[in-house]
Amino acid sequence: MKLIFERSVRGRRAARAPKWTVPTHELIAQNLLRKKPAELPELPEMEVVRHFTELSRLNFSVDTHFYPLGSCTMKYNPKACEAMANLRGFLDVHPLWPQLRHGGLLTQGALQLTYETERMLSEITGMAEFTLQPLAGAHGELTGVMLMAAYHRDRKNKKTHVIIPDSAHGTNPASAALGGYGVVAIPSNKDGLMDADALAAALNEETAGVMLTSPNTLGLFNPRIREIAEAVHTVDGLMYYDGANLNAILGRCKPGELGFDMCHLNLHKTFASPHGGGGPGSGPVGVVERLRPFLPISRVVKTKDGTFSLDYDAPKTIGYIAPFYGNFGVVVRTYAYLLLIGREGLREVSNHAVLNANYVLAKLRPYFATPTKDRCMHECVLSAKKQQKEHGVRALDIAKALLDRGIHAPTVYFPLIVPESMMIEPTETETRETLDGFVQAMIEIANQAETDPDALHVAPTTTPVGRLDEVAAAKQMDLAYSG
């Protein structure tokens, strides 16, 4: 594809409005103006439109292709929520505007939306209170670990470490370490779950808490979760729930009722915000009653006369963890989404997410190794270890071959505890026909691994960029243009 500069021909342009005939004010001082015009490409309007439309089509996107990227998948993002987030009243609101002047017309709506979103998330998770401040899942975890530390300081507890299963998302141990704790990793048992006996052995008076994802990164729900929570509470440890992918249990069970003391959610995965390229995100954190005093300031409170205001009066708070009140635009999408689909809709989300993942798992079990014999929750993990051993075809080759078939690659080589892992999350929104298309593509690739493995080693061949040396692409970036 040509650069827009290469398509430029001097003098070509779009229709132009006639010159102004009324006097105009000088907006920019004369000495700051360019001496000669910038050397911009010159093209007719349709050429410009086509150029940028073509560019946009080089991208893989959930609007055009199936996107089964396990764990970090974008789930259902109704376009209606985008429209709500783009309403002028939400777009233009500024956090330094007065809370109550002009009868509160300026910011009362935003404060009410914030307040009600916190109430709804508390209800969904069984927590007492939420803060919307954290700007990502990992930021929510760090907030959680800081809350954990504040709680233990307040109780004069001497705590040194956090317990985390070896299947955890990598951000969990990183957050615990940033929060000043050592990390004790617990191996998974043969069923792919954190071993409750190994946990009991590691647990002692110095355990600050346990960080868990349930369902875990193998897509498995831990049936001994209540028992684990009880054991952790006997040493005054806290249970942290990584709820980045809550679509597995939405509307069916609540972390608060399973014995968890706090959790974060990824609004940019499960609650209707599209994400990519690192943002924008939102990782709100919910806590049970006894952790409420430590939440970050400010809090949105509802006063007796029904208006909303910001409250900074919290002597035990961990303070600010983000400027102002978080990523407001993301929160607007979540609010709209929750009102749009309602209580029944939330339950439908988990029903379909879990059904779809199990459908894919059942269809592909005959072709790929699977780490456990169990059913899964919202995502399933397959392994290419058979293909690798017999034909030298790795999970990476399979991921690349999917690109040639118009399907985004699944997450590969995570979770780390499964060799040649491929983690597939079909999400709640895909049709049976789309899932069948994916299954068919995976079966074709499994067959090709036997008949023509070399073809898979050079895939993809139909994408704008072919197989890259991934290390060099990251470490020796070549961004210069050479025609």
Ligand X SMILES: *Cc1c(COP(=O)(O)O)cnc(C)c1O
Residues that bind ligand X (CB under 6 A): 71-72, 136-138, 169, 171, 213, 242, 244-245, 266, 281, 283
Instruction: Give CA–CA dist 430/360, Å, rounded.
Output: 12
Closest listed residue to residue 195, CA positions, set 165, 240, 236? 165
Residue 27 is encoded by which pair of tokens? 């907006």
Supply the minimum distance, in Å, between the C-beta of residue 173 and ligand X: 11
Q: Which is nearer to ligand X, 244 or 338 (CB)?
A: 244
Helix (H), strand (E) at residue 182:
strand 182-186
Q: Please choose, from the candidates 286, 247, 333, the residue with its C-alpha nearest in 3D space to the C-alpha of residue 119.
A: 286
CA angle 367, 372, 377 (to 5 degrees): 95
Which residue's entry shows tokens 């049709």? 431
Q: Which is nearer to ligand X, 169 or 391 (CB)?
A: 169
DSSP letters for 324-341:
TTS-HHHHHHHHHHHHHH
10 Å Cβ neighbour count for 58?
10
Half-sphere exposure of 308 (CA within 13 A, CB side): 15
Helices (H), 186-275: 196-202, 225-234, 255-258, 267-270
**315/329 Cα distance (integer angstroms):** 29
Q: What is the closest distance, in whole angstroms, from the C-beta atom of residue 213 to ligand X in the complex?
A: 5
In angstroms, give the least distance from the CB of 280 to ligand X: 10
* 132 within 8 A of 113, measured Cβ to Cβ: no
Pick between residue 165 and residue 405 the one whose CB is nearest to ligand X: 165
Between 70 and 126, CB nearer to ligand X: 70
The least CB distance from residue 349 to ligand X, in Å, is 16
Q: How far is the CB of 164 from ligand X (least distance, A)?
A: 11
**Amino acid sitting at position 302:** K
Nearer to ligand X, 104 or 280 (CB): 280
Q: What amino acid is encoded at 149 in this protein? A: A
CB 72 to ligand X: min, Å: 5
Point out the residue whose Cβ comes nearest to ligand X. 137
* Main-chain phi, psi angles of 285, to 5 degrees: -120, 130
Separation of CA 87 from chain center? 24
Which helix (H) or strand (E) is 422 found in, with range?
Answer: strand 421-424
**CB of 89 or CB of 276, closer to ligand X:** 276
Question: Least distance from C-beta 198 to ligand X, angstroms?
Answer: 21
Q: Given the complex with ligand X, which of 286 and 459 has the nearer CB atom?
A: 286
Nearer to ligand X, 122 or 213 (CB): 213
- Least CB distance from residue 284 to ligand X, whole Å? 11
